[in-house]
C-alpha cells in the first residue's frame, strides 16, 4: 500500500474539506491518475472529504473555479 498526499487540502467555509490534485492535461486521463482518483474518493467518502482534479493550465492561469470549493 502506498501513501497518497494530495497537492492541496482545502477547508471550505462550511468546515468540510476537499482534496485537490493538479495534473497536466496530457495526464488527466492516464490509468495512474484514474487509480489515484479512485483511491482518494474511497478514502474521502469514509472521511467526508471531496476530491477534485484540476488541469494544470487552469491552475497556472488561476482561472479554475468551482462553487463547491468555496
Nearest to 55 by CA among 29, 36, 17: 29
Cell numbers for 59: 491552475
Q: What is the largest CA-CA distance in the chain?
A: 35
> Strands 17-23 and 49-55, how do they pair?
parallel
pLDDT 10s digits, 34-50: 888 888 888 777 788 88
The span from the CA of 65 to the CA of 33, in Å, is: 21
Enter the pTM of the model. Answer: 0.71
Q: Does 67 have pLDDT greater than 70?
A: no
Average pLDDT over residues 40-65: 81
How many C-alpha atoms does 3 have within 13 Å on its Cβ side? 1
70: confidence class by pLDDT, cuts 50, 70, 90 = very low
Amino acid at each position: 500500500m502506498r501513501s497518497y498526499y494530495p497537492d492541496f487540502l482545502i477547508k471550505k467555509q462550511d468546515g468540510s474539506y476537499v482534496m485537490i490534485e493538479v495534473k497536466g492535461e496530457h495526464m488527466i486521463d492516464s490509468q495512474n491518475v484514474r487509480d489515484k482518483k479512485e483511491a482518494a474518493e474511497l478514502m474521502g467518502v469514509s472521511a467526508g472529504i471531496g476530491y477534485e482534479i484540476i488541469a494544470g493550465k487552469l491552475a497556472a492561469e488561476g482561472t479554475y473555479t468551482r462553487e463547491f470549493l468555496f
